[in-house]
Chains A and B, each alone.
Chain A
Amino acid sequence: MSLPDLSAFFLTLKLAASATFILLLIGVPIAWWLANTTSRIKPALEALIAMPLVLPPTVLGFYLLVLMNPDSVVGAFWVRMTGDTLTFSFAGLVIASVVYSLPFMVQPLQSAFEGTGRAVMELAASLRASPLDAFFNVAAPASFRGFVTAIVLTFAHTIGEFGVVLMVGGNIPGRTRVISVEIYEHVESLEYAQAHALSLILLVLSFSVLLFVYVFNRRYRLHVD
Chain B
Amino acid sequence: MSTETLHIDISARFDAFSMYVRQDVPMQGITAVIGPSASGKTSLLRTISGLELPQSGRIVFNGESWFDSVARINVPAHRRGVGYVHQDGRLLPHLDVAANLDFAVKRATGTAQGISREELIDRLELGDLLSRRPARLSGGERQRVAIAQALLTRPRLLLMDEPVSALDQNRKRVVLSLLRQLPERYGLPIMFVSHSIGEVTRIADAAMVMGSGKIVDSGDPLEVLNAYMSGDPLGTERGVILEGEVRQIDPRLKLASINLDGADIHLPDLDGITTGERVRLIVSARDVAIATEATNATSIQNHLPSRVCDIVDIAESAFVDIRLSLSNGGDLYARITRASMEGLGLTVGQTVFAMVKSARLTV
Contact = CB atoms under 8 A, between A and B. Distances in A.
A140 to B, nearest CB: 9
10 contacts: A120-B90, A122-B51, A123-B92, A124-B78, A125-B78, A126-B49, A126-B84, A127-B107, A129-B103, A137-B103
Contact of A126 (B83, B88, B109, B133): B83
A141 B94 contact: yes
B104 interface: yes
Contact of B135 (A119, A128, A138, A225): A225
A224 B107 contact: no
Interface residues of B, number: 28
A142 B92 CA distance: 8
A116 B143 CA distance: 20
A214 interface: no
Given A122-B51, A224-B133, A225-B135, A129 B107 contact: yes
Contacts of A144: 94
B50 A138 contact: no
Given A123-B86, A224-B133, A129 B78 contact: yes
Given A224-B93, A225-B135, A128 B81 contact: yes
Contact of B76 (A120, A123, A125, A142): A125
A2 interface: no
Interface string B65-87: 00000000000111101111010
A190 to B, nearest CB: 54
Contacts of B107: 127-129, 133
Contact of A130 (B78, B92, B93, B149): B78
A123 B90 contact: yes
Interface in A85-132: 116, 119-120, 122-131
Which 6 pairs across A and B sit closest by C-beta, in order of nearness? A126-B84, A125-B77, A128-B107, A142-B94, A125-B78, A141-B94
Given A126-B150, A127-B103, A224-B93, A119 B86 contact: yes
B153 interface: yes
B176 interface: no
Contacts of A122: 51, 77, 84, 86
A81 to B, nearest CB: 40
A23 to B, nearest CB: 24
A74 B94 CA distance: 44
Contacts of A224: 93-94, 133, 135
B91 interface: yes
Given A119-B88, A122-B51, A127 B149 contact: yes
A120 B108 CA distance: 18
Given A127-B107, A141-B94, 10 more contacts: A125-B76, A126-B78, A126-B82, A128-B78, A128-B104, A130-B78, A131-B78, A144-B94, A224-B94, A225-B135
A224 B132 CA distance: 10
B92 A120 contact: yes
B92, B104, B150 — most chain A CB neighbours (10 Å): B92
A56 B135 CA distance: 43
Contact of B108 (A116, A123, A128, A138): A128
Contacts of B86: 119, 122-123, 126
Interface in B107-144: 107-109, 133, 135
A119, A128, A133, A138 — most chain B CB neighbours (10 Å): A128
B94 A119 contact: no
B53 to A, nearest CB: 13
A199 to B, nearest CB: 40
Contacts of A131: 76, 78
B91 A123 contact: yes
A133 B153 CA distance: 15
B103 A119 contact: no
Contacts of B94: 138, 141-142, 144, 224
B237 to A, nearest CB: 31
A38 to B, nearest CB: 12
Contacts of A116: 93
Contacts of A141: 94
A113 to B, nearest CB: 13
Contacts of A120: 90, 92-93
Contacts of B153: 126-128
B55 to A, nearest CB: 17
A141 B103 CA distance: 13
A222 to B, nearest CB: 11
Contacts of A119: 86, 88, 90
A144 B94 CA distance: 9
